[in-house]
Amino acid sequence: VRRGLLPHVVGRHIRSLTVHQPQLRELIDVASLRRRLMGQHILGVRRRAKYLLFDLSADSTLMVHLGMSGRLGIVPTQRQRRLHDHLIIELDDGHALCLNDARRFGLVCCFARDDELAHRRLRHLGVEPLDPAAFTAAWLQARTRGCKKPIKNYLMDATHQVGVGNIYACEALFAARIHPVRAAGRLSAQRCARLVEAVVTVLREAIELGGTTLRDFANVDGAAGFFAPRLQVYGRTGQACLSCGGPIRRLVQAGRSTFFCPGCQH
DNA sequence: AGACACCCCTGAGAGC
DNA sequence: TGCTCTCAGGGGTGTC
């Protein structure tokens, strides 16, 4: 999403802000948001975990999280408002940045860039899996020692490493041939190495293909992502494993569905 | 420490 | 066709 946004927003000037529905995961402080956004230029877009961070002139950061169903789109300024369009940021080129989020689990806020590191949504976050200096097999092994929770739950815990959601946790564990229930602290050095490689590979490939469209995910142009046909286990309960032919199984861990191949993952 | 229940909210799909 | 039920890619809090 960040990559898709870049060519449309960098260098643009913010002309106006319209909030149709302030009640997302957190209530949007519309007055404060408008004060910080109006008249600013968008200098760049960064990402931390699953948060998009827009760098604005005047040293502000606009933070957007898409939750489960959020979409950010570049639309013509005059386009008719659609169901669940909650927030419109009008730019100076006849287009607008539009947040559409049916479930309203998304998040929008704006703060001084100096406050970013201490921000309550960001300060507890772990390492970026695509940072090769930080997310290494040695780091994972050291970090997991003594941890008894299942590796699937560990992978999805953003205080350790960020960005690994339910789909990619399942897919990475399959690629690394590791059983999702195995205790994190009992992964050998070899398994840690396989898992780190698998997480990075799965995430990189999914990003290149524009993400996983199950029902409603869409990128900036409104197009679907193309990773769904590459899924090996996610959502494939009862179907044949593409590696060994055995049936894919589903279980529930920490309230989330886990899909895995009992024949391939130990 | 970790499992679990529950919260935010709407919509898709299955089963009847 | 329409109803009810279950589940959903995220992330947080509170309790046991």
Distance of CA A60 to the CA centre of its chain: 22
Q: Are A198 and A172 in contact (CB under 8 A)?
A: yes
Task: Encode pLDDT of A31-52 as tens digits.
Answer: 999 999 999 999 999 999 999 9
The pLDDT assigned to A186 comes to 92
DSSP string covering A194-260, please?
HHHHHHHHHHHHHHHTT---SSS---TTSPPPS-GGG-SSTT-TTSBPTTT-PBPEEEEETTEEEEE
Which amino acid appears at position A206 of this protein? Answer: A
With distances taken from each CA to the C1' atom of nucleotide C7, the closest residue turns out to be A257
The pLDDT assigned to A55 comes to 97
The pLDDT assigned to A24 comes to 93
> 3-state class of A44 per DSSP?
strand
Q: Which residues of chain A have pLDDT under 70?
A: 214-218
The pLDDT assigned to A210 comes to 78
Distance of CA A18 to the CA centre of its chain: 25
> In strand C, which positions have an atom below 7 A from any protein CB?
7-12
The pLDDT assigned to A214 comes to 66
The pLDDT assigned to A126 comes to 93
The pLDDT assigned to A216 comes to 61
> In strand B, which positions have an atom below 7 A from any protein CB?
1-6, 8-13
**Which chain A residues in 203-242 sit with Cβ < 7 A of strand B?**
215-216
Provide the CA A127 to C1' B12 distance, Å, integer: 34
The residue with tokens 């309960």 is A237
Provide the CA A7 to C1' B2 distance, Å, integer: 44
